[in-house]
Amino acid sequence: MKKLRVGILGLGRGYSHLRNFTHIEDAEVIGCADRVERLRNRAKEFSPDVPLVEEFDELLAMEPDAIAVATNGRMQARHTIQALKAGCHVISEVPGCFTVEEAHHIVAAVQATGLQYMLAENSSFLDFLRYWRKWVLDGRMGAISMAEGEYLHYLPQTMIAAENTRMTPAQCKEQGITDAVPCWRADQPPIQYLTHDLGPLLEVLDDRVVSVVCREGPWWQDQTPLRSDGQIALLQTAAGRLIKITVTLSTRRPGAHNYRLFGTGGSAEWYSHEGFCRLFDSEREEREGWEVVPIGTAAPDADKTVGHGGTDIWTAYYFTKAILEGRSVPIDVYRMCDYTVPGILAARSAELGGQPITVPDIRTAPRETSEFWNHVPIPESEPERWKYEAPSQVIY
């Protein structure tokens, strides 16, 4: 079988893609590009035989079948379109685009070239989500009327010094570094980085957002003075559901992804710091409380060393499989817009003091159903479960 010849653009986050595609039997990394010598050296240590170049044009000259775009979020649209026009399929890091206009341009490029585009949203491949989709289809929680997602990630290293070294403003001041520049996320509205939370919920519910309102918190974190400390969005879906998304990149706390489903007959919750699911389905009495379902980021037999708890590799696996089989990818260009555009418009709503904004559907035909579950298998069996017992130690 022919292998998919992949080029990696950007070796910061792209280092993970290098590792992922190296693990895929039907893929071959034929080259990587990055202007930062330190990042090229790290890639060379991992894969000495893969050619390393500085410029994107040099990578495209190797004639790869596909490009993994892992440059910063303000450059992804430009590099995606360049790759498509060069005849390459694209798998792009999140957010995929930075403006609504960029989303339109990427869609137009995909339509014009007939090539495939996939958003590499790893969180959609969290293992517990497959069970949530199964329970939704089985009616275990009744109709899902509301959902919540939280992305809590303290990222004060907003300055870029020599050799792409990330530093906090305080570190730059302490070390007398005056030529550091803000990174692309330094002034990115937090809510604009909601794909890790919104995307998974949209797949579980097979839904899309049609309108959004958003408010932001204060700007008190002195290490991230160019962005709000946090933002909260309320999103209405095409099915009438309400989704709340909270994103903070500037409040000091352990990082976490948290998800909740609220159904008319039951609910489910998953908090990354716990590593298991809580379920209260329609068969339980209220006095019985939650059940613990031991499902986490990846299946028990999965390789969890390849990034983000074992989810990263699935983006490379399903992308490769779809391209070689001539099938649509699980998170295509239109689904990228479903994941990303609501965050862009949520930031605009926050700027306007919380005014509601309509989220357009950029498709050229009516949306039917998600492609995602045509690739990712829904479990046939149920995992074990037991009654949830809250920690007994209470500190006053």
Contacts of 1 (CB under 8 A, 6+ apart): 26, 324
Q: Which two tokens stand for residue 123?
A: 């969180």
pLDDT of residue 89: 98
Q: Could you please report the per-residue DSSP string of 234-294?
A: EEEETTS-EEEEEEESSS-S--EEEEEEEESS-EEEEETTT-SEEEE-TTS-GGG--EEE-
Q: Is the pLDDT of residue 207 over 80?
A: yes
Work out whether strand 27-33 and strand 52-53 pair parallel, antiparallel, or are unpaired: parallel
pLDDT of residue 300: 67
**109-166 pLDDT tens trace:** 999 999 999 999 999 999 999 999 999 999 999 999 999 999 999 999 999 998 889 9
pLDDT of residue 310: 86
Confidence category of residue 305, pLDDT binned at 50, 70, 90: low
Distance between CA atoms of residues 177 and 358, nearest Å: 44
Distance between CA atoms of residues 67 and 305, nearest Å: 23
pLDDT, averaged across the chain: 95
Confidence category of residue 301, pLDDT binned at 50, 70, 90: low
CATH of range 4-115; options 3.40.50.720, 3.40.50.2300, 3.30.1130.10, 3.40.50.1980: 3.40.50.720
CATH of range 127-317+328-387; options 1.10.10.60, 3.30.360.10, 3.40.190.10, 3.90.1150.10: 3.30.360.10
- Cis upstream peptide for 95 (omega within 30°): yes
**330-353 pLDDT tens trace:** 999 999 999 999 999 999 999 999
Domain coordinates in residue numbering, the chain: 4-115, 127-317+328-387
Averaged pLDDT for residues 379-388:
93
Q: Is the pLDDT of residue 172 over 70?
A: yes
- Determine contact, residues 125/309, Cβ cutoff 8 Å: no
Q: Where are the strands (E) in 59-207, listed by range? A: 66-69, 89-92, 117-119, 144-152, 159-160, 166-167, 181-182
The separation between the first and the last C-alpha atoms of the chain, rounded to the nearest angstrom, is 64
**75-119 pLDDT tens trace:** 999 999 999 999 999 999 999 999 999 999 999 999 999 999 999
∠ Cα 197 202 207 (to 5°): 155
pLDDT of residue 24: 96
